[in-house]
Amino acid sequence: MHAHRVLIPALVALAATVAAHAQPAPRVAPTSAFSMKQSFAPVVRRAAPAVVNISSKRMVRQQVDPFWELFGLGAPRNRIEGSLGSGVIVRADGVIVTNNHVVEGGTEITVALADRREFPARIMLADARTDLAVLKIDVPPGEKLPTLVIDESPDSQVGDLVLAIGDPFGVGQTVTNGIISALNRTADPNGDAGAYIQTDAAINPGNSGGALVDMDGDLIGVNSFILSRSGTSSGVGFAIPAPVVRRVVETAMNGGRAVVRPWVGARLQTVTPEIARTMGLPRPAGALVADVWPGGAAEQAGLKQGDVVVSVDGGPVVDAAALNYAVGTHRPGETLRVGVRRAGGDQQLTLHAEAPPATPARDERIVTGANPFEGATVVNLSPAVAEEHGLDPFGSKGVLISKIDNGAAQRVGLRPGDLIRAVNGRSIQTVRDLTGAIAVRAAVWQFTIERNGQQVTATVRA
């Protein structure tokens, strides 16, 4: 059997009621192996009131058995699907952070506080790349909700005790404990999918968006997903670190609709044992600069093809994803000290964090008219757009399909992420090229798209 990455919202379940108990005797949080005989209760009392339950309803289109479609029966119909997750209050006026996958596509979002009061919530910002969303509820005038402090300068270490607080399986608020099993875990060593905190605290469906707190009761991460063969906790859970959470919340509070992530301005490759031997490096660690974007942050800092970045602000760079993460958690305009190993000797360079360039201009449009792309949202591919959609800015250029609504584009099988290469023999480099090509009426349309690195040509009748 294989382990699978499992996102952890649960289907809506009945909320459990909690019986009242007598006031417990004063306790202290464990600070040593000996004091493990004591209790986590002081930390829980501080943190738990700021953890909420989040339920979301979304409309999904239910397909029918193709057999019945042969007889014109059983047309597709809409149904309401519910999901359940957790969230953390980070501002006393009702600002809540959770996972994007908990509320994605939700048309009706409800937040239940620890005291069981319920409030409708609206989405301030949803960021699929980090899998974080910021919600807002309207609390009664003058009331301040309990909050969790986002750790400003995390100094977490492997082996530190942590608590995971959330609402697994919809049974009601639950607290589990464990340790930090690893830091800076990356899903793709050559990408920028994030650098997670790994913990063995039990995390189950419904814990998504819940809090991972340290023994000071501060928020050090937002629980996001697990690796499991069964779909339930096997002691390998992952949380989005506090610096990423803080950047997303700051963006939402400043009125931003999308998180602007600084980028390195270079194509990076993780240093493997084979690369380390070839380059004479003492160990396989660091990010190899394979290419540099002209005029980008890396070139301005003096980085060159063949350099190996080994540290950022004094911290080691394990792989390419770790470097992307370290740069991405900074605000545009901030500077970083970058340690570089090159043939001429080790150097310290200064890199200015900056947003990826939006060149060429986006020119984003929704395609209309009698053509195969009707209903598709298209945009010119630039480093900024590539970063937004998780694509390689050094890869293909052209016109990207960013979204598909009902229309011809959906019927012919086009998907978000497709790159339009040609239409009726005309090469497509920009959105303007595309609008010019589809302005000419045609009885038969032939177009070529690039999907997952493969080019596909299709022919459809008008």
Catalytic residue among 55, 83, 86, 101: 101
- The DSSP call for residue 162 is E
Catalytic, 330? Answer: no
Amino acid of residue 6: V
Amino acid of residue 256: G
- Tell whether omega for the bond before 241 is within 30 degrees of 0, i.e. cis: no
CA dist., res. 259 & res. 395, Å (int): 22
Catalytic residue among 181, 208, 382, 402: 208
- The DSSP call for residue 430 is S
Catalytic, 131? Answer: yes
Contact indicator for 55, 84 with CB cutoff of 8 Å: yes
The C-alpha angle with vertex 105 and arms to 380 and 173, in degrees rounded to 5, equals 135
Contact indicator for 200, 236 with CB cutoff of 8 Å: yes
Catalytic, 352? Answer: no
Instruction: Dig out the tokens for 392 from the structure.
Output: 């390689």
DSSP string of 435-460, one letter each residue? HHHHTS--SEEEEEEEETTEEEEEEE
- Which one, of 119, 150, 7, 3, lies nearest residue 54 by Cα? 119
Contact indicator for 107, 230 with CB cutoff of 8 Å: no
DSSP string of 357-381, one letter each residue? P--S----EE--SSSTTTTEEEEE-
Catalytic residue among 131, 167, 200, 319: 131
- Which one, of 57, 59, 53, 137, lies nearest residue 98 by Cα? 53
Q: Which residues contact 454 (CB under 8 A, 6 or more apart)?
A: none
DSSP string of 248-284, one letter each residue? HHHHHHTT-SS----B-SEEEEE--HHHHHHHT-SSS
Quick one: which H or E segment has residue 413?
Answer: none
The C-alpha angle with vertex 415 and arms to 409 and 417, in degrees rounded to 5, equals 130
- Active-site residues, by number, are 101, 131, 208
